[in-house]
Structure 1
Amino acid sequence: MKEMSKKQMADAASRHRNGDGNPLGANSEIARKLKQYYDELVSDHVPDRFAQLLSQLEQTEPAQKKD
């Protein structure tokens, strides 16, 4: 197995310290923003009217299954 030169090792360490060694590369920023957006979306409050409609739907589903 080929050994890394001192310069190659220093370059790799520098990339790692700077965050450039991330396996996703430029996609890591996209992944971070998507996760942030998803977390915000999941934590949003469900409007009362929407919750009422979901409740009504859940109540009518069992009645429809009996038919």
Structure 2
Amino acid sequence: MTEQKSAAAGPKPRRGDDPLGANSEIGKKLREYYDGLMADDVPDRFTDLLSKLERAEASKDKDGNAQ
């Protein structure tokens, strides 16, 4: 099973080919993690809270401009 993942990822660069060395692997893992986070949906509760905040700010701006 590990061999399939390695083959799918492509050949590993030689030491001289990769200026970042081990940092390239860390960057790849971070990118995969970030992509996974971005693919997740925003929970409804969070969306509702953002809507309430926007309405409160709009109301505050409207009241502030009227004075």
Q: How far does the alpha carbon of each residue in 1:9-63 deviate from its partner, in whole angstroms, 9 at most, with x for none?
A: xxxxxxxx74021121110000000101111111111111111111111111121
Task: Tell me the percent identity.
Answer: 53
CA distance in 2, matches of 1:57, 1:18: 49
> Normalised by the size of structure 1, how large is the TM-score?
0.66
Q: Which stretches in structure 1 are left out of the alignment for 5+ residues?
A: 1-16
Structure-2 residue corresponding to 1:39:
35
Q: Greater share of helix residues, 1 or 2?
A: 2
> Normalised by the size of structure 2, how large is the TM-score?
0.66
Which of the pair has more CA radius of gyration?
A: 1
CA distance in 2, matches of 1:56, 1:18: 50
- Count of residues in Structure 1 that have an aligned counterpart in Structure 2: 51
Structure-2 residue corresponding to 1:65:
61
CA distance in 2, matches of 1:63, 1:43: 33
More RCO (CA 8 Å, sep 6+) = 1
Q: CA RMSD in A?
A: 1.5
